[in-house]
Structure 1
Amino acid sequence: MFNILPFILIVLSLVIIIFVIVRKYPQLLLLDVDTLPEIKMARNKNRLIMHKSEQREKQYYANFKNKLVPFIKLLKNIQLAFRVLVGKIERKVGENEKIPNGPSITKQEKKEKIIMSKDLVKDAQTDLLQEDYPTAEKKFLASLNYDSKNKEA
């Protein structure tokens, strides 16, 4: 009998709780949490804090950007000086062009090779007119050795 009494009290309290909830359920459904003054105050507070933090962030980045301007100018001046230096070196070395996989050749030597290639092409064409095909072929190949970009060869 003493074991049943606590069980009856628990069941009775649950029934009362359920009864109250069922009676107040429509009112609970109509309760709008967004209209509570505490919630409104909390939202306003959060909005103000976010607005202040955004302003501070913008101000911080503006100050940071202003502090970087002299550094960026310095880097631009260094780059300009480097480009001027490279330009001077290129002008000094400009007379000696390097051919990949070969020794450096001056412009004068390059012009001489082009002239030699053109002379060989002319000789080869005269050999073609005389129908001496093997020597013409050798001269065309030799002219290509001197100037590989020669279209006539």
Structure 2
Amino acid sequence: MYNIIPFIIILVCLAVILSIVIKKLPLLAAFDINSIPEEKESQTRKKIMEERLERKAKVFYGKIKPFVKLVANFLQRKYKSLQEGIVRLEEKYKSKAQKEILVTKEEFQNSEKKMENLLAEGGDLAKKENFEEAEKKYLDILNLDPKNIAAYRGLGEIYFSQRQYEEAIQTFMHILKISKDDVPAFFQLAEIYYKLENFDKALVYSNKALSNSPKNPKYLDLLLNICIVTKNKDLAITTLAKFKEVNPENAKIAEFENKIKEL
């Protein structure tokens, strides 16, 4: 029992201290730190420094203001002079371009004739399977006219003949960049993908070719072969009917009919 007395005394003391603190809390909350002389002095110094800096900035700007104005006027004059120079250059090059166009028109017929000759030579060389020399002829045409579709087509056919299918695909794709609805390019891509056994793409390009030229027997022939390989009997029957309509004397009709029956 005597051991608990000190503990009770400690608790009583803590209760008294806590009571005093609670009573003094309102006074602590109302205490203004700005009432401390040192704090007031610090704030005063800060305000004086800010006002002094502001005055110095105004004085400095007043001194450099004429110089700033002078530089601004100089830059404005330079900008105006530069604009006038650009206008003069535009007029000069416009005049030069017009002269060059006149020269091009005068030389146009000679250039066209030269490209026709190169195209014919390239075709003859390709028929003789002299593909390397034929390729050079087509490249010579493209040096004269970088968008010559006939030259690109000749190159694509050379690559196809040599089974360089990736090069052929790139070439015919480039033709479609120049002319997005080039029907022969669609058909030639369909042929390449058929050779590569990529029948999905072959069907896509075959349909694109036929949508622009629905009665072309060559295009219908390829589509029939794609349908037979992929066992698409319904499309094969529809395509064969069109094939008979446009080319009723074709010897392959009976062969196609037998293959379709086996699907």
Q: TM-score normalised by the shorter chain: which range applies?
A: 0.3 to 0.5
Larger helix fraction of residues:
2
TM-score, scaled to structure 1: 0.46
